Amino acid sequence: MTALQQPSPVKPANTRRKQKQSQRTVGRQLRPVLLLFAVTGLLLGGLGSRLAYLQLAKGDRNRQLAENNRIRILPKLPVRGLLLDRKGRIIADSRLSHSLFIWPLAQTSERWPETVQLLAEILEIPTEEIQTKVEQAEPNSPTLVRIARNLTPAQITAIEEYSIDLDGVEIDAEPIRSYPHGTLAAHVVGYTGEITSEELDALRERGYRLGDVIGRMGVERGFESQLRGEWGGQQVEVDGSGRIVRILGEKQARAGLNISLTLDLDVQRAAEAALDDRRGAIVAIDPHSGGILAMVSHPTFDPNIFSTRITHETWEALQSQGNPFINRAVRGYPPGSTFKVVTAIAGMESGKYPPGTILNTYGVINLGGMLMPAWNGAGFGPLGYEGALQWSSNTFFGQVAVGVGGVTLIDWSRRLGFGVSTGVELAEESSGLIADDEWKRERFNDWGWTIGDTANMSIGQGFTLTTPLQVAVLFAIPANGGYLVRAHFLKDERPADAWRKSLDLNSANVATVQRGLRQVVTAGTGQALAVPHLPPTAGKSGTAEAPPGETHAWFGAYAPYDKPEIVVVAFAEHSGGGGGSVAAPMVREVLETYFDVKPPQ
């Protein structure tokens, strides 16, 4: 018999409901986990993307920022080259002083506003000036920015006392320009100053950087490329507090070259004493090479004041003294009768009025509608070139100039060094003015050159402007026998021929001018130089009308007459006196020092 099969047991309904509930509960429990994994994945993906962006796209910049926080550069300003006179005596050197620097990163500090305010009070400068200097550098620059130079002991002490409150501020020693003779030769030497942001944009390609010091006037500017030297510095690692941990590298600053000048401090000092408080200039040169032995301009200034910050009040006080920063030795003025040397050479070299020419002179003469008077009101009768120079005859030289014509006179004026730069290493030099027909038509409504203009020019008046240095170059021509020298301050070993060129003048014409200039001193308007303790001297006076002020006084001379060693030109601006009475005695004082002689008691 077949066993009976038992039916399968049937689960109750409630049991089935429990199983379904259990399955739903497990699903709900997995959802938070899955959601957590999803959010984590998104976060990790975002962080990974950000890291990839920072490392790949911005990696170089971020590495640089990190380096700048850890690595810093301590720049070292080069020592500027010395300026020496012809005998090796120091005219300009450098001394150590203390300067205040700020790290540009200090701007990110929460205490930056307090730091700026405290520094402004200690240094006595506006907060805006400090902020402007710091902003000239990149915000994350690792290089110090100079804020103030030549700190006083009191300022250094105050900064040290408040060092805890001055984040990113440092004091360091650096060279600063010094002029041991003060105002002596100030216009020759010039001064230096810290480079501006505008100048930096133009000079960056030439190796200049923020904080550089450059020459701003005189030979400091003229020899800037030789004097400046090359920056050095240290690359250092710092900790979180900004303290130096170790030096990573160092480059020694290279000092600038020393420059020897043709200037003679003894002659310079004598020229300044001779000019005294008069407004004007004195120039002394070597007639064979053009080397400048002395150059004085008054009023003057002390270049040491530029070694620190110049306040507005200081600047105004300097300017009130009568434009002391104008170098009158290289500024144009009407030359008066010193110009008659040009007229004489033009007349003889033209061939129309050779050396033996004799002309009648008059109390007054009509030249092209212009009445030209003699300074004595009567004239001097018949005169040759020697006598006309001796007595400074206006009517003689007026006739010569009109006879040769304005074109010829203008041409010789320029050949003899007027209307162009002398070549001296001074950016302040004016070329003066030798006007012509084209120049006049441009400025006077097409009114051209006249005979009266030529006559006026013949005696150094009218439109003609020359500098005292140009007049010195002119007097060197008869002194050296007919060469045009290039005025200069650089002392080198080259022969005189390297600094001059022949004008190919007729030797008889040169000799005629030489004799005339000698007669000026022996028997004419320059007898203030006819003294027994000086070597024989030759020269020429000049008195120039210069409205609206009083007349200018000139005198140019060279000595010894038979073998010249020195040319001296003195100029007194609006002195009101004659060249022979005002300027000639100044020339005499300079010659006495040069030849080391003293007037008898």
CB 372 within 8 A of CB 395: yes
Which residues touch 565 (CB under 8 Å, ≥6 apart)? Answer: 286, 287, 559, 594
Sequence-distant contacts of 381-385: CB under 8 A, at least 24 apart: 382/358, 383/358, 383/359, 384/355, 384/356, 384/357, 384/358, 385/344, 385/347, 385/348, 385/355, 385/357, 385/512, 385/513, 385/516
* Strands 192-194, 213-215: pairing kind: antiparallel
Distance CA 503, CA 480 (A): 11
* Phi and psi at residue 580, to the nearest 5°: -70, -30
Burial of residue 239 (number of CB atoms within 10 Å: 0-12, 13-18, 19+): exposed
Q: How many CB atoms lie within 10 A of CB 291?
A: 24
Sign of CA dihedral 181, 210, 319, 571: positive
Q: Which residue has the tokens 């408040």?
A: 162
Ordered DSSP codes for 569-584: EEEETT--S-IIIIIH
Task: Please state at what angle helix 153-161 crosses helix 112-123, rounded to 10 degrees.
Answer: 160
| Burial status of residue 15 (CB atoms within 10 A of its CB: 0-12, 13-18, 19 or more) | exposed
- Rounded to the nearest 10 degrees, the angle between the axes of helix 265-275 and helix 584-594 is 160
The amino acid at residue 595 is: F
Residues recognised as catalytic? 337
